[in-house]
Structure 1
Amino acid sequence: MSAVIQLEDVRGSAKAASAPLRVAIAGLGTIGKVVAKRIDKGLDGCELVAVSVRNPGPAKEFLAELKSPVTLVELEDLPKVADVIIEALPASVFDTLAEPVLKAGRTLVVISVGTLVSRPHLFDLAREYGGKIVAPTGALIGLDAVKAAAEGTINSVRMVTHKPVKGLEGAPHLVKNNISLENLTEPKKVFEGTARDAVVGFPANVNVVAALSLAGIGADRTMIEIWADPASDRNRHRITVDSDSAAFSMEIANIPSVENPKTGKITALSIIAALKNLSGPVRIGT
């Protein structure tokens, strides 16, 4: 009986000593705010400790509405106070966050997955310093199946994306090539090519194809078509994969967020699910 009591005491002490993951968010746009509210409401194993933003004024007002106190810190200081840092930033400041996080051996949860395609050195930094890069599924479907197929031989991966016209406005590829989306009455193909070129031409629109390429056969062999669709009110993605283990296709129609039509509502929820995978005792899926 004594031994059993001692064992239970040890288990209880270990449980009590298990501290929650300290989470920080870089950027408080549409996605950052949804994630912050969810953690503050209560997300097992996670605690929001810090936020970094370019404009502290509105951020202070938002943070004042949360139940728990959250500190505003400089971008490069986030790895000093948090175990997991969620990136929700413009590509122009991505490196200011990513490199310090990985060199500190922390976990970087990347929303702007397209930035990883042109930054392979970040994977080397993660290996060297013991950091981790987490690219959540986001607005896509079936990355587990693609990752599994990649353990064998994948022959081809193709993605076809249909987006509401408003969600594509201002994309660099459209501006550079003088492609007009005004007065469209039927779907218009505005791009066809590799994932590598797509994330450059549409950095705010196709992070999904970057994640797909990283899960599968790379950015130069993953192909994508992008269509501006005046009749669509959703971001639709269809993936077709041919491999030596399976041939499969998948389709998802994401509802754009009201605040930012370039981003689907499910993206923020995917970040929350990724945090649960990091902090929870059970993980479902690859």
Structure 2
Amino acid sequence: MNAFTSPRRRPMRVAIAGFGAIGGRVAQALDEGIPGFELAAVAAQDKGKAARRMEQLRNPVPVLDIAELEPVADLVIECAPAVLLPAIAEPFLREAKSVVVLSVGALLAQEHLVALARQHGGQIVVPTGALLGLDAVAAAAEGRIESVRMVTRKPVRGLLGAPYLVENNIRIEDIREPMRVFEGTAREAAKGFPANLNVAVALSLAGIGPDRTMLEIWADPELQRNTHRIEVESDSARFSMSIEGIPSENPKTGRITPLSVIACLRKMTAPLRVGT
């Protein structure tokens, strides 16, 4: 039985791996109080900076190495670079604990994590993040989905440095009009834009998979917000959705992403749960 369904009298202890724009905001919410949860520890690459940021909380917790998190927590929230996902998730999954994953694209390259969760009774949870409508897509997937297409438009600064752009020598720094920089599958996008397109992978996992979910990515010098439009054709419904997210202090991440994690935590223990 995993950490979400086990009866507990004490609050569930939460560790946060990564203490930047997302991890810091989630830690703040836990410090202010989320029923059924308490912040136990954080891990950060720059421990000094993290310790100074920790002083702003009412109830500071230890700043640890990633390897030290599992013994002190029941659940870990991954807010770190994608390459660190196995090191963060594996210890928790082996102990039948839960992992909230934001680097969703990394799951496609680390499929053993799902097998590990299944083997030991752990659970991997993917919040909605900067997307919307995953409930509708998951419901449609119980029938037959014909196609899922997503068009993402981002400010130039939010795409700079993406491996796909570097490898293909695509320069966007000085563009003056919208430029399509990618068209392909969600799996391909996850490899080429690991810090940008976790939303596309989440969409694919809710629906018809990363090899059938199609994606376009546009760099737009006039945009101030990250925009995503999704179109779904299925035997139960035809629907489209659009969202414009305001970037956080990290231009690759929207402000709504940490709020989605906070909402996910509240939903786990709420007496009334709305949504699939």
Q: TM-score, normalised by structure 2?
A: 0.95
**Counterpart of 1:244?**
235
Kindly state the Cα deviation for residue 281 of structure 1 after the two structures are TM-superposed. Answer: 2.2
Question: Which amino acid in 1 is paired with 2:259?
Answer: L
Q: Which residue of 1 aligns with 2:5?
A: none
Please list the CA deviations of residues 68-88 of structure 1 after superposition, one character each: whole Å capped at 9, or x if unmatched.
131222212212111110001
Percent pairwise identity: 58
Which ranges of structure 1 fall in alignment gaps of 5 or more residues? 1-16
Letter in 2 for 1:38: A
* Amino acid paired to 2:179: K
Distance in 2 separating the partners of 1:152 and 1:121: 27
| CA offsets 1:250-278 (integer angstroms, 9 cap, x no match) | 00000001x21110000010000011112
The answer to whether the aligner puts 1:266 opposite 2:266 as a matched pair is no
Of 36, 39, 43, the match for 1:48: 39
> Secondary structure of the equivalent of 2:201?
helix
Is 2:13 aligned against 1:22? yes
Are residues 1:280 and 2:264 paired?
A: no
User: Structure 2 unaligned runs (5+)?
Assistant: 1-7
Task: Give yes or no for the alignment of 1:104 onto 2:95.
Answer: yes
Letter in 2 for 1:264: G
Aligned residues: 269
Q: Give the deviation of 1:279 after TM superposition.
A: 2.5
Name the stretch that deviates more: 30-39 or 56-65. Answer: 56-65
1:217 corresponds to 2:217:
no
1:147 alignment partner, one of 120, 138, 153: 138
Which amino acid is 2:250 matched to? N
Q: 2-side partners of 1:71 and 1:273: how far apart?
A: 24
- Give the 4+ runs in structure 1 shifted more than 2 A: 279-282
What is the CA deviation profile of residues 144-177 of structure 1, one whole-angstrom value per residue up to 9, with x for unaligned ones?
A: 0000000111110000000000100000000000
User: Deviation at 1:60?
Assistant: 1.1
Residue 63 of structure 1: how far off its partner (Å): 1.3
Once the two structures are overlaid, the 10-residue window that deviates more, 70-79 or 263-272, is 70-79
Give the distance between the partners of 1:63 and 1:275, measured in 2 at CA: 21
The one-letter code of the counterpart of 2:26 is V
Offset of 1:55 from its aligned partner?
1.8
Partner of 1:34: 25
Partner of 1:60: 51
Q: Name the aligned partner's letter for residue 53 of structure 2.
A: F
Structure 1 stretch 39-48 or stretch 191-200: which is displaced more? Answer: 39-48
Give the letter for the 1:52 counterpart: A
C-alpha distance in 2, partners of 1:65/1:230? 36
Q: Could you tell me which of 68, 72, 82 is aligned with 1:81?
A: 72
Letter in 2 for 1:203: P
Counterpart-to-counterpart distance in 1, 2:174 and 2:117: 47
When structure 1 is superposed on structure 2, of 32-41 and 275-284 the one drifting more is: 275-284
1:156 aligns with 2:166: no
Please tell me the residue identity of whatever aligns with 1:262. K
User: Residue 281 of structure 1: SS of its match in structure 2?
Assistant: coil
For residue 14 of structure 2, give the secondary structure of its aligned residue in structure 1.
strand
Report SS of the residue matched to 2:256. helix
State TM-score, norm by structure 1. 0.92
Q: Which deviates further from its counterpart, 136-145 or 80-89?
A: 80-89
When the two chains are superposed, the root-mean-square deviation of aligned CA atoms in Å is 1.1
3-state SS of paired residue (1:225): strand
Secondary structure, aligned partner of 2:23: helix
8 Å CA contact 2:86–2:113 kept in 1: the answer is no
Which digits, 9 at most, give the CA deviation of each residue in 1:77-115, with x for residues without a partner?
Answer: 212111110001112221111111111111100111111
What is aligned with 2:3?
Answer: none
CA distance in 2, matches of 1:274, 1:206: 20
Which residue does 1:113 correspond to in 2?
104
